[in-house]
Structure 1
């Protein structure tokens, strides 16, 4: 009889170990591999980022507090009185021989002294003014030449009075339009003139180690001035300490 051979038993590759299950052949879940270092390195990097972010936030809070404490406020201006030394229409000099039928240009000869109160409302910052010039405007046209003023240093929360003479000192008449000249003569005859005092310059604020850069300043004060015609002069007002009607208002842009 022939020999019968049984099929060989599968080799046991896990002798003494655990048998292989189907679940062992499934891909692992939840396993991630870092290409940038170990878990400890990532934790140190996260801590450093958190500390840097905290320092940045703290510096921002400190800067905001310092800004709110030392933030300067724009200066305030007030006109308390004005003296009118001269205000009249004159005939300006012509540039050449006048043409036939041409009219000589109109001009205004004006001189004022204005008492101006400058207040620095900042309680912790001193103010420094430079390149100050003042002139007077009537109906949108300048009727005086710009008058230069000296530099000014102002303590915190203080007020100072300046009284520049504008248009005096033998300044040449300022050319104006015929409409402005006619309106000025009419207002002077009624005894009330609407004027605007303009102050230009630059300002900076200093508070301890902190200081701002120079900022342009533009202040304008609208006045309603009472004038009285002097005897024997046409369209002139030469009475100092002219009364101010209403409440003069000043606007300041910095």
Structure 2
């Protein structure tokens, strides 16, 4: 009978402890409620678009992106960050590793990664599509950022979450142009965490 009584007390103690831990976690989450960072493309430069082969594309591009942390109470760390460019759902630059990023509370970071430079195998419709779009003067590209995100609020640190940001950008590009190109529209990025 004594064993059964102590077992019930132990079970009650553990249940109350877990309930209090859950309530505390919920309160901390409600107070700090981290939201995902936002990204915007504010500049673009094209240095090379080589479409001479039917199955390989070589490009060198630079996009200027603004990362913003909208949280008032928690900072954001993004590590294992990499970026690449895709055209018509196909990757046209190799993923480029980027340095880790720290976003203060309500902080902003500007980055301008240089992407490409190496030949990338593609399907036969990509080089032809790029040539056609260049002749028309408008090229639709997607800048993709991948990384691991975690939040820090005071002494609390979250676990790591996978982050995927995609920025659909329309650029004005004519064949033979090198350097900065106009961005058509206001490209905000969608971010999944």
TM norm. shorter chain > 0.5: yes
- TM-aligned CA deviation for residue 113 of structure 1: 0.8
Find the aligned partners of 1:67 and 1:191 in 2 and give their Cα distance. 48
Aligned mate of 2:125, from 179, 186, 193? 179
| More strand as a share of residues | 2
Find the aligned partners of 2:152 and 2:20 in 1 and give their Cα distance. 25
Closer, same or farther: CA 130–60 of 1 in aligned 2, 3 Å = closer
Kept in 1, the 8 Å contact 2:59–2:118? The answer is no
The 4+ residue runs of structure 1 with deviation greater than 6 A are 51-58
Q: Which residue of 2 aligns with 1:82?
A: 44
Confirm or deny that 1:214 pairs with 2:166.
no
RMSD over aligned Cα atoms? 2.2
* Deviations 1:68-126 (CA, angstroms, capped at 9, x unpaired): 111211111100111111113022xxxxxxxxxxxxx5211111111110111111111
Find the aligned partners of 1:55 and 1:177 in 2 and give their Cα distance. 58
Structure 2 residue runs of 5 or longer lacking an equivalent are 2-7
TM-score (norm 2): 0.86
- TM-aligned CA deviation for residue 65 of structure 1: 2.4
Aligned length: 184
**Secondary structure of the corresponding residue to residue 66 of structure 1:** helix
Larger RCO (CA within 8 A; separation ≥ 6):
2
Structure 1 residue runs of 5 or longer lacking an equivalent are 1-35, 37-44, 92-104, 231-236
TM-score (norm 1): 0.66
Higher Rg: 1
- TM-aligned CA deviation for residue 62 of structure 1: 4.1
Find the aligned partners of 1:177 and 1:54 in 2 and give their Cα distance. 60
